[in-house]
């Protein structure tokens, strides 16, 4: 899909904490309709990278461009209203609200929020809840949900914002294999709706199953980029992150085909 | 949804009954003492309603709200005493001065969270009192300002009683009006998780500053009315930290982040407090132990119903309704309903007590 228009880029984006460079000089290009996997060992700077793009953390260096507009250093709420949404690795539900209200807040304040009344936002929340399969939970309080449902709720809140770009930060961590299958389906459906996705994930099956390309971060720097099958076979990547075991599995699978 | 509507209707009915009782009470003749107690109670409720917006809904534990009370009081005092204004417009000015002040200090202070915010607001209140005390040319300093009396006394009693009651209604209406709108959702979202709120597109700074300014407006108009009602204001009197603490306690007793909480908590606080000071059961003067007993009472309420009495009532009612719905076809008399409610209340109290561990 490389002919599609560029929707979001980072140029030499960096973040330092004190003297430590958590992310440095990362160039990333997202095209409309992409599903890109962002992988790397723990502490590689994946979440920090998302945080500096979305304005959750102030960026230290480099440039972020969204649809031709320089959004470097914009506050999080403005980035969100522009059409960039994200989920949190550690789920952040509004525990004092019902599931429906949680999602409605996204619909009130996200990209489509300005033209929506509270009532319309609640209606929009129902549509999104139906899409992610949480409609029958809508009157429950968020604190009563299981982790798998809370992950879906995160997704629903982000989708209610009507984003064009969506960052998913480990939405599948902690789920069982059946739940992962369901989540993968959901991710594909979201992409079919025209939403560009950047997915941070440790579940490699999911990365291979849904991503066209993967982007590997290691010690805050880009280590490799390309098609999942190729990148995951790259010796550098294996050494940094995956261990030999997974590479062997991949080769075995290729041999079968 | 329908359930939510029905619960709302019940709350409105209970509210209207309470309002009716307080509105009619003076017609049956109240003593001067009763007038004073109830008027003070209404003003306490308004300050509690104010704190409830920033502390209850938005989750920012403000400990300096008395600054807004004092500013409201001094706005009225200075305008009436020095500039000869009539009373009513000074209330609006008092509220607006307090709100403007809150917006100004809120911009830096609301960047802090948790204990840091609490301590910063406390500091601002102390500083504000000192400024007022030393700014003698305008405020007459520590000597304070005397305001004219409203006469005759029966007119004054009824005027302040109904004015303060009207402000309670205004506070409840304002809260109700906001919390069903986007702004209200943003406050509740900020209380739950400020980062998540930002990420959904909420300009948390603006939401918090508005919450703080509206808080200050309510506390400020209470201060304004207090100034004329008391006919005398001095820095030590209107900036006393007790006023902040009483408002917070009223909210916590009643239930933070609810419309009825500050009202129920204010009534409870004032009744228990007044009882302790003025009644002498078995010839024992409780007044000297007032603060101690009040403290024990508050600790007990927090152990047994940490979310406030309103939460206890609504949960009991919900449980009783559920029991009734289960007994389909059975007779749904009010009496059995109340009995089920009482049983649910006992159960919830016992559960809360067990969950409380030191």
pLDDT of the residue at B332:
63
Let me know if residue B3 belongs to a domain: yes
Could you say which of B1, B185, B202 has the minimum Cβ distance to residue A77? B202
| % residues pLDDT > 70 (chain B) | 95
Q: Which residue of B has its CA nearest to A115?
A: B182
Q: Do A93 and B200 touch (CB under 8 A)?
A: no
| Of the listed ranges A45-49, A102-106, A109-113, B259-263, the one predicted with least confidence | A109-113
pLDDT of the residue at B35:
94
pLDDT of the residue at A123:
95
Examine the predicted complex and report whether its ipTM is higher than 0.85. Answer: yes
**What is the span of the domain harbouring residue B321?**
313-355
pLDDT of the residue at B287:
72
pLDDT of the residue at A251:
67
Of residues A4 and B256, the one with the higher pLDDT is: B256
Q: Do A101 and B185 touch (CB under 8 A)?
A: yes
Residue A31, phi-psi category: left (phi > 0), alpha (psi -120 to 50), beta (remainder): beta
Let me know if residue B292 belongs to a domain: no
Burial class (CB in 10 A: 0-12, 13-18, 19+), A234: middle
Q: Do A56 and B195 touch (CB under 8 A)?
A: yes
Residues B324 and B235 in one domain: no
Let me know if residue B248 belongs to a domain: no
Q: Which residue of B has its CA nearest to A105?
A: B185
Q: Which residue of A has its CA nearest to B190?
A: A94
**β-strand partners of A64:** A10
Digit-coded pLDDT (tens) for B18-29: 899 999 999 888
What are A20's two structure tokens? 């430590």
Flag whether residue A14 sits within 8 Å of chain B, measured between CB atoms.
no
Kindly state the average pLDDT of the residues B308-334.
Answer: 76
Let me know if residue B143 belongs to a domain: yes
Residues B211 and B322 in one domain: no
Flag whether residue A150 sits within 8 Å of chain B, measured between CB atoms.
no
CB proximity under 8 Å: A 101-120 to B: 101, 104-106, 108-111, 113, 118
pLDDT of the residue at B1:
41
| % residues pLDDT > 70 (chain A) | 94
- The alpha carbon of residue B188 is apart from the nearest alpha carbon of chain A, in Å, by 7
Does the structure show a pLDDT above 90 at A236? no
Q: Do B201 and A101 touch (CB under 8 A)?
A: no
Task: Count other C-beta atoms under 10 Å from residue A1's C-beta.
Answer: 10
Let me know if residue B294 belongs to a domain: no
Let me know if residue B118 belongs to a domain: yes
Q: Do A161 and B201 touch (CB under 8 A)?
A: yes
Residues B150 and B9 in one domain: no
Let me know if residue B342 belongs to a domain: yes
Let me know if residue B223 belongs to a domain: yes
Does the structure show a pLDDT above 50 at A1? no
Interface probe for A, chosen from B58, B199, B203 (most Cβ of A below 10 Å), is B199
Q: Do A111 and B201 touch (CB under 8 A)?
A: yes
Residues B83 and B144 in one domain: yes
Interface probe for A, chosen from B200, B204, B255 (most Cβ of A below 10 Å), is B200
Residues B203 and B148 in one domain: yes
Helices (H), chain A: 46-54, 76-82, 99-109, 118-132, 147-160, 177-192, 204-210, 228-231, 235-237, 244-256
Does the structure show a pLDDT above 80 at A149? yes
Residues B90 and B208 in one domain: yes
Q: Do B201 and A80 touch (CB under 8 A)?
A: yes
Q: Do B199 and A76 touch (CB under 8 A)?
A: yes
Kindly state the average pLDDT of the residues B52-80.
Answer: 96
Based on the structure, what is the number of domains in chain B?
Answer: 3
- The alpha carbon of residue A189 is apart from the nearest alpha carbon of chain B, in Å, by 21
What are A172's two structure tokens? 């599948």
Kindly state the average pLDDT of the residues B68-89.
Answer: 95
Kindly state the average pLDDT of the residues B321-334.
Answer: 69
pLDDT of the residue at A246:
66
Each domain of chain A, given as residue ranges in start order, spans: 1-83+165-174+196-257, 86-163
Q: Do A97 and B197 touch (CB under 8 A)?
A: no
Q: Do B200 and A95 touch (CB under 8 A)?
A: no
What own/partner pairs with CB < 8 Å and gap ≥ 24 does B4-7 have?
A: B7/B314, B7/B317, B7/B318
pTM of the complete model: 0.90
pLDDT of the residue at A247:
61
Digit-coded pLDDT (tens) for A164-222: 999 999 988 888 899 899 999 999 999 999 999 999 998 888 899 999 999 999 999 99
Residues B204 and B328 in one domain: no
pLDDT of the residue at B330:
55
Kindly state the average pLDDT of the residues B102-124.
Answer: 94
Digit-coded pLDDT (tens) for B205-254: 999 999 999 999 999 999 999 999 999 999 999 999 989 999 999 999 99
Nearest residue to B38 (alpha-carbon basis) of B273, B239, B206, B196: B273
C-alpha–C-alpha distance, residues B215 and B40, integer Å: 19
C-alpha–C-alpha distance, residues B225 and B90, integer Å: 9
Does the structure show a pLDDT above 90 at B130? yes
Instruction: Give A-chain residues touching B257 at CB under 8 angstroms.
Output: 96
Residues B26 and B154 in one domain: no
- The alpha carbon of residue B258 is apart from the nearest alpha carbon of chain A, in Å, by 12
Q: Do A56 and B193 touch (CB under 8 A)?
A: no
Residues B86 and B235 in one domain: yes
Does the structure show a pLDDT above 60 at A136? yes
Of residues A238 and A102, the one with the higher pLDDT is: A102
Last residue in a domain, options B243, B258, B280: B243
Q: Do A106 and B189 touch (CB under 8 A)?
A: no
Q: What is residue A199's DSSP assignment?
A: E
Q: Do B193 and A104 touch (CB under 8 A)?
A: no
**DSSP secondary structure string, B174-204?**
HHHHHHTSHHHHHHHHHHH-HHHHHHTT--H
pLDDT of the residue at A3:
57
Instruction: Give A-chain residues touching B182 at CB under 8 angstroms.
Output: 108-109, 113, 118, 121
Interface probe for B, chosen from A51, A88, A108 (most Cβ of B below 10 Å), is A108
Instruction: Give B-chain residues touching A150 at CB under 8 angstroms.
Output: none
Could you say which of B192, B198, B257 has the minimum Cβ distance to residue A76? B198
Does the structure show a pLDDT above 60 at A7? yes
| % residues pLDDT > 90 (chain A) | 68
- The alpha carbon of residue B118 is apart from the nearest alpha carbon of chain A, in Å, by 22
Q: Which residue of B has its CA nearest to A108?
A: B182
Q: What is the β-pairing status of strands A35-39 and B232-233?
A: unpaired
Q: Do A88 and B196 touch (CB under 8 A)?
A: yes
pLDDT of the residue at B352:
83
Q: Do A105 and B200 touch (CB under 8 A)?
A: yes
CATH number of A1-83+165-174+196-257: 3.40.50.300
């Amino acid at each position: 899909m490389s002919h599609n228009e560029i929707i979001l880029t980072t140029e030499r984006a960096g973040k330092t904490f004190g003297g430590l460079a958590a992310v440095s000089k990362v160039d990333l290009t997202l095209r409309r309709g992409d599903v890109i996997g962002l992988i790397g060992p723990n502490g590689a700077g994946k979440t920090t990278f998302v945080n500096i793009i979305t304005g959750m953390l102030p960026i230290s260096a480099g440039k972020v461009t969204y649809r031709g507009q320089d959004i470097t250093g914009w506050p999080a709420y403005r980035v969100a209203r522009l059409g960039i949404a994200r989920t949190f690795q550690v789920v952040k539900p509004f525990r004092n609200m019902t599931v429906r209200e949680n999602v409605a807040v996204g619909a009130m304040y996200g990209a489509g929020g300005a033209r929506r009344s509270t009532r319309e936002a609640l209606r929009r929340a129902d549509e999104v809840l139906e899409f992610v399969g949480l409609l029958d939970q809508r009157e429950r309080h968020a604190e009563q949900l299981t982790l798998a449902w809370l992950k879906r709720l995160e997704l629903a809140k982000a989708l209610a914002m009507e984003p064009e770009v969506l960052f998913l930060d480990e939405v599948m961590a902690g789920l069982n294999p059946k739940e992962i299958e369901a989540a993968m389906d959901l991710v594909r459906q979201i992409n079919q709706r025209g939403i560009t996705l950047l997915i941070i994930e440790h579940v490699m099956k999911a990365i291979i199953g849904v991503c066209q390309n993967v982007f590997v971060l290691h010690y805050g720097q880009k280590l490799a980029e390309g098609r999942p099958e190729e990148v995951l076979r790259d010796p550098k990547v294996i050494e940094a992150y995956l261990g030999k075991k997974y590479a062997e599995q991949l080769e075995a699978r290729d041999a079968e085909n | 949804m329908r359930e939510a509507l029905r619960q709302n209707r019940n709350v409105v009915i209970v509210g209207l009954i309470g309002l009716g009782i307080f509105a009619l009470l003076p017609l049956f003749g109240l003593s001067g003492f009763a007038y004073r107690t109830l008027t003070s109670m209404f003003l306490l409720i308004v300050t509690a309603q104010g704190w409830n917006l920033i502390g209850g809904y938005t989750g920012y534990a403000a400990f300096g709200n008395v600054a807004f009370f004092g500013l409201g009081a001094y706005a009225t005092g200075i305008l009436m005493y020095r500039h000869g204004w009539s009373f009513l417009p000074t209330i609006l000015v008092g509220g607006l001065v307090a709100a403007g002040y809150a917006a100004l200090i809120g911009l830096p202070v609301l960047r802090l969270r948790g204990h840091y915010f609490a301590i910063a607001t406390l500091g601002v209140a102390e500083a504000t009192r000192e400024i007022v005390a030393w700014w003698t040319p305008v405020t007459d300093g520590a000597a304070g300002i005397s305001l004219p009396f409203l006469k005759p006394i029966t007119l004054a009693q009824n005027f302040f009683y109904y004015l303060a009651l009207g402000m309670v209604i205004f506070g409840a209406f304002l809260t109700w009006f906001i919390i069903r709108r986007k702004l209200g959702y943003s406050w509740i979202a900020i209380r739950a998780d400020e980062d998540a709120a930002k990420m959904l597109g909420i300009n948390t700074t603006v939401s918090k500053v508005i919450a703080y300014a509206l808080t200050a407006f309510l506390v400020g108009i209470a201060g304004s009315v207090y100034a004329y009602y008391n006919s005398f204001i001095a820095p030590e009197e209107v900036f006393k930290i007790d006023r902040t603490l009483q408002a917070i306690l009223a909210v916590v007793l009643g239930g933070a982040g609810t419309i009825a909480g500050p009202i129920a908590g204010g009534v409870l606080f004032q009744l228990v407090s007044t009882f302790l000071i003025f009644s002498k059961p078995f010839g024992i003067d409780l007044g000297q132990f007032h603060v101690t007993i009040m403290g024990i009472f508050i600790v007990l309420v927090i152990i047994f119903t940490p979310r406030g009495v309103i939460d206890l009532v609504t949960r009991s009612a919900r449980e009783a309704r559920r029991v009734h719905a289960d007994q389909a076809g059975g007779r749904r008399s009010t009496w059995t309903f109340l009995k089920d409610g009482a049983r649910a209340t006992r159960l919830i109290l016992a559960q809360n007590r067990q969950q409380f561990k030191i």
